[in-house]
Structure 1
Amino acid sequence: MSDTIARIGDTIVQQGRHNDRIYVMKLAMHDVPGIIDRLKEIALENGYSKIFIKAPESGLNHFKTKGYTIEAVIPGFYRGKEDGYFLARYLKDSRKKEPKKDQLQQVLKKAVILAGFRRPISLEPDLSFRIAGKDDAGELAKLYKQVFATYPFPIFDEAYLKKTMEENIRYFCVSCKDTIIAASSAEMDREMKNVEMTDFATHPDYRGKKISGYLLHRMEEDMLKEGMKISYTIARAFSYPINTVFSRAGYTYSGTLVNNTNICGSFESMNVWYKPLVKKTL
């Protein structure tokens, strides 16, 4: 059962048992500070163990005084001007403990060593790239089911994919002949000019061909045309391949979200990486 997305005031939140959390996806600052206590009430009523929020610097002190801690920071996250903070409040001590810290650091260290070492990437002759459309939704859902045991959003649902295509998410895919073998998505916040590069999946038979790196490059080109200023990702902290993809592409590590997401069958910590798509001018 997937978590639900709804509004509290004008703030968009995801909540549910699947991820055992409340995730404030888009905070409306005029809902602050009142929403802070309301979020805690909802979490306690449902027994959730974490509240996760993306908030601008202008709201930071409101959350810090209520027990929130900073897990990641992205400079210029809002319109390229105001920094964005990824904040967490844990309602159960077990949720804020990462038992495999050493392994996490090893993955991160290896990825950072390769920072910026992006080489020209091209697809093999039998592979082709395109932006996915609604007719591809069924095949995309099938691929995601093959790759992920669980996922924080209902990407296994063809109807969900079609709905989000109409809203703020653009899907990209690579095909072999007429079969989609890799995919990704760009979730745009057009108002705040940032985009999350996410939902990367490659069929097991086609891994090791640098397809995710190719997809990311094409996504960046497309998002730059859409006027996005900051690109970021929330990547599985123990996945060396995906962290390396972003490190090689010039992304900067900015923090780890502890036990944040139900993905691939269990709760996992997630690394945040970011990259300005537009260079600042003096």
Structure 2
Amino acid sequence: MNQTASTIYVNEANYYCELYLDPFNKRIRVDDYRGNTKLLLERVTEFVTQHQMEKLIIKGRSEDFLTFIEAGFQPEAIVDRYFLGSDAHFFSKFFSPERKRNDHWITEDRMIQSIYQLSPSLDKTIPPKEYELKKADENSVDELSALYKQVFQIYPTPLHNPDYIKKTMKDGTIYYVFTYQGKIVSTASAEINAYYKNAELTDCATLTEHRKYGLMKLILQELEKELRNNGIFCAYSIARALSFGMNAALFQLGYSYRGRFMNNCYIYDKLEDMNMWVKNLANC
């Protein structure tokens, strides 16, 4: 099977939908749709069978909530104000018993409970002056790619490929980095949906030896500032459910937990659950 992800636009007489085919993670995601929801679900399910996928994810509208429930989907997460101010409900349906099996769910539930016991205030750690925060450009793609290779053995998108990072930059994704002695040691990005005015803060990576200074929180705050300046107030981030540090950082940055995707993607070293965190930047 071709492991390259692709976007397909299905335009029929009664409906339209935008599909993200993701063979590496054995899933299909419906990023947008309109028209006859029942007919488009039938068509999308055909794609699942045709491409031997294991999971189907839909970014649903509130008005279609019961339609998805009746079709056998389960709600996994919500992003407040995703669709130009209206909430997005992320529904999923599984197509293999193994993809629905999970041994970490209770552990991950307890982690969320423990994170909500933390002080919501940020510590004011200031990194040493050798660290410099700046916006990355296309000249940084080789170094960014090398950093992602070092941090992640497996990643759900091809960030190990400099050409892919360059393409995301051309498509409007913003990257910020911290450098140490001129070398990139920490980075994150904001993937912007210009039509619906939202952004996913993602691709967070810091080299192990540089994790004690809170660099990631400072990068995320800088990305938030740029999003606000561009009139984008819906920010969300999806973190590995087993990563206490990243989930705690998002909580302390003012993000709210909004659900968990079961067996969502291959990241770090295996198929993992992912937590959804959401923040309204208009309140900052």
TM-score (norm. length: structure 1): 0.93
Indicate if the aligned counterparts of 2:78 and 2:90 stay in contact, CA closer than 8 A: yes
Structure 1 portions without partners, runs of 5+:
none
Say which of 172, 175, 197 aligns to 2:176: 172
Paired with 1:191 and 1:122, the residues of 2 have a C-alpha distance of 36
Contact 1:107–1:239 (CA<8 Å) still a contact in 2? no
Query: Does the 8 A contact of 2:177 with 2:219 survive in 1?
Result: yes
Could you tell me how far 1:178 is from its partner in structure 2? 1.3
Q: What SS is found at the alignment partner of 1:29?
A: strand
- After superposition, the C-alpha distances for 1:70-119 in whole angstroms (9 at most, x for unaligned) are 01112222212x11101101111221222112321232122222262223
Letter in 2 for 1:225: N
Any residues of structure 2 matched to 1:253-264 within 5 Å, and which? 253-264=257-268
Which residue number corresponds to residue 244 of structure 1? 248
For 2:135, the equivalent position in structure 1 comes to 131
The residue number in structure 2 matching 1:117 is 121
How much does 1:185 deviate? Answer: 0.5
The one-letter amino acid paired with 2:48 is: A
- Rounded Cα–Cα distance in structure 2 between residues aligned with 1:258 and 1:41: 22
- Report the TM-score when normalising by structure 2: 0.92
What's the counterpart of residue 20 of structure 1?
26
Equivalents in 2 of 1:223, 1:17: separation in Å?
Answer: 31
Over aligned residue pairs, what C-alpha RMSD do you find? 1.8
Higher relative contact order structure (alpha carbons within 8 Å, sequence separation ≥ 6): 1
Cα distance in 1 for partners of 2:152, 2:271 equals 13
In structure 2, the CA distance between the partners of 1:210 and 1:166, relative to structure 1 (3 Å rule), is same
Aligned mates of 2:33, 2:169 — CA distance in 1: 23
Aligned: 1:29 with 2:29: no
Matched, 1:210 2:211: no
Asked whether the equivalents of residues 72 and 87 of structure 1 are also in contact (C-alpha less than 8 Å), the reply is: yes
Kindly indicate whether the alpha-carbon contact (under 8 Å) linking 1:118 and 1:250 is maintained by their aligned counterparts in 2. Answer: no
Query: Equivalent residue for 2:166?
Result: 162
> Of 34, 43, 61, which aligns to 1:56?
61
User: Aligned partners of 1:241, 1:40: CA distance in 2, in Å?
Assistant: 37
* CA distance, structure 2, for counterparts of residue 112 and residue 157 of structure 1: 37
The answer to whether the 8 Å contact 2:5/2:23 transfers is: no
**Aligned-pair CA distance for 1:2:** 4.3
Partner of 2:192: 188
- Match of residue 8 from structure 1: 9
Q: 1:244 to 1:41 in 2, by over 3 A?
A: same
Aligned residue pairs, count: 278
Partner deviation per Cα, 1:221-264 (whole Å, 9 max, x = no partner): 11111111211111100000100110001110010100001101
Q: Distance in 2 between matches of 1:157 and 1:125?
A: 31
Amino acid at match of 1:61: L
State the alpha-carbon separation in 2 of the partners of residues 223 and 148 from structure 1.
26
1:73 equivalenced with 2:74 (yes/no): no
Q: 2:58 matched to 1:46? A: no
Shift of 1:16: 3.5
Q: State, as a whole percentage, how many aligned pairs show the same letter.
A: 26
Structure 2: runs of 5 or more not aligned = 11-15
